[in-house]
Structure 1
Amino acid sequence: MTATDPAEGPAWRRRTQAEQRWPASITIAVLAAIQWFLPDELTVGPRWLLPVIELAIGVVLIAANPVRMRTAKPALRALALALISVVGLGTAYSVVMLIYNILTGYHTANAADLLGAGAGIYVMNILTFSVLFWEFDRGGPIERGLGTDPFPDFLFPQMTMSGDMVKRDWEPYFLDYLYVAFTNATAFSPTDTMPLSRWAKAAMALESAIALATAALVIAKAVNTLG
């Protein structure tokens, strides 16, 4: 059986060329940079702590699969899950502390600083969930490339289109998951890509709730400060 055999079905359901790592690596670097520049009261421990941990894990993962993600080992999968756990912890803590500070009296009367912190956390929310969606859909990027799980957690529109409307070798890559996370956070609901599994539905609901709460509270507080 070969990857070009028509009997194998669409690319997203069969073994294909391994996905490139650089889009996810850049996203992690951007996340670390945002965490570094957040106010101290919105970060876990020293501002450098989580960014250093994230970048250190990221370097190990890049060294194992520098260009395309072909090497599948339990230790590497554990590191990838550790990375998303650290990223998720940092984002969750920043969201909670931002909401807490707004509700109890934010430390600064400067609306620009408040909007800047809120915007940073809003972007962190999108980037965090894009990595989470990418890392867990059908077992992660390496498993998707191997075609081991035919049941998707996210139904992309290309998966339901006829052959004359989508390339036969189409399969979801990181930028597709980034787009899903972006539209879910801005529309506060799924748009063109539907969650199928329960964890995917819960994750998208949580991302929307965080985005809505962050945007509403930050804007309301900033308007009140300006007034």
Structure 2
Amino acid sequence: MSKVPKAAAASNRHTRRWPASLAVVAALGLQLAIPPQILDAPRWIMPACGAALLVPLVWTNPFHLRRDEAWLRWIELALLAVLVGINAVYLAGMIGVLTAGDTGDGKVLVKAALLIWVTNVVAFAVWYWEIDRGGPFARMPEHDHEEERPDLLFPQMTADIPGWERWLPGFTDYLFVAFTAATAFSPTDTMPLTARVKTLMAIQSAISLLTIAVVAARAVNVL
């Protein structure tokens, strides 16, 4: 049985789109589980808008990144704006419930806070995946893109470790960065280098802190 070269295997892992698409679908699905007490509106409207933006991305690059077109990148950014906007609306609605004193059911607040936190992680993971060094297409060594400066400094980029010479970050790596930023409210093993990623990470940490420290803590007190 022939073995796949390490460089080809690394490139194959790097070009996978389906993990990012699956994460976005999961985040949009979670919006349908937001308690109706948090937002007095049909819960399917905003997830439907996000799903409509996701369809052309999956249609053109269902499993691996093959087509690089400018309009695809704009759709991706619009999808991210929808996800972040959905989360902001629900977070504002939950804070409104708290300030109105309507906190009789703490389970509702805990559930809403958890869904908002998970969506926050997924949305910013896609942000980091999309903008680091110009996006997933620009990071591919086989494409003739002008290489941009790294936005994130991964540990694999700082040391000469055998077996990691041709390593490229995949979506799972960016998901881990988003998870640690939302949990520790700061970078952990991966450092932000550019102003745009520092700004995004600050916004993500602020949303996570507000959700956990203010909303979830209040909900636990109600319980």
State the TM-score, normalizing by the size of structure 1.
0.86
**Alpha-carbon RMSD:** 2.1
- Aligned-partner SS, 2:32: helix
- Partners of 1:114 and 1:131 in 2: how far apart? 26
Q: Deviations over 1:30-88 (max 9, x none)?
A: 11111111134545952111211222221211111122112111121121111111111
* Cα pair distance change 1:43/1:133, threshold 3 Å: farther
Q: 2: CA distance between counterparts of 1:211 and 1:92?
A: 11
Partner of 1:65: 61
2:180 to 165, 178, 183: 183
Q: Give the alignment's TM-score, normalised by structure 2.
A: 0.87
Structure-to-structure mapping, 1:108-187, within 5 angstroms: 108-145=103-140, 146=143, 148-164=146-162, 166-187=163-184
Deviates more, 1:217-226 or 1:169-178: 217-226
Q: Does the 8 A contact of 1:35 with 1:47 survive in 2?
A: yes
Q: CA separation in 2, counterparts of 1:172 and 1:148?
A: 18
**Structure 1, unaligned stretches of length 5 or more?**
5-10
Q: Do 1:99 and 1:214's aligned partners in 2 also have CA atoms closer than 8 Å?
A: no
Displacement after TM superposition at 1:215 (Å): 0.6
CA distance in 1: counterparts of 2:168 and 2:190, whole angstroms:
13
In structure 2, distance between residues paired with 1:192 and 1:148: 27
| Amino acid in structure 2 at the alignment position of 1:128 | A
Cα distance in structure 1, aligned partners of 2:19 and 2:39:
25
CA contact under 8 A between 1:102 and 1:217: conserved in structure 2? no
Structure 2 CA distance, aligned partners of 1:163 and 1:224?
48
- Number of aligned residue pairs: give it: 212
Aligned AA for 2:200?
Answer: A
Offset from partner CA, 1:124-154 (integer Å, 9 cap, x none): 1111111111111112112222353241100
Amino acid in the other structure paired with 1:199: R
User: 1:83 aligns to what?
Assistant: 79
SS at match of 2:64: coil
| 1:8 corresponding residue in structure 2 | none
